[in-house]
Amino acid sequence: MVASGKEPEGRDEELIETYRGTISLPFETGDNRRVAVKIMDDWGIESLKILEV
């Protein structure tokens, strides 16, 4: 929710929920065969790691 108290238009809560959790969504590897894994903790601290697949 934003400061105005209104949800931004076009926000799809169901779609956002699909990205929450510890199980990856299916994806195809690209030519570089690497993925970026980004996590965010409850305090909003982000970490990013690039992994070879």
Q: What is the mean pLDDT of residues 10-24?
A: 81
pLDDT tier for residue 48 given thresholds of 50, 70 and 90? very high
How many domains, in total, are found in the chain?
1
Assess if residue 6 is contained within a domain: no
Assess if residue 4 is contained within a domain: no
Assess if residue 47 is contained within a domain: yes
Q: Which domain holds residue 43?
A: 13-52
Assess if residue 2 is contained within a domain: no
pTM for the whole thing? 0.49
Greater model confidence, 48 or 27 = 48
How far apart CA 13 and CA 35 sit, in angstroms, is 25
Q: Which two tokens stand for residue 22?
A: 């510890």
Assess if residue 30 is contained within a domain: yes
Assess if residue 40 is contained within a domain: yes
Assess if residue 37 is contained within a domain: yes
The DSSP result for 1-53, as a single string, is --TTS-PPTT--HHHHHHT-SSSPPP----TT-EEEEEEE-TT--EEEEEEE-
Q: Is the pLDDT of residue 4 over 80?
A: no
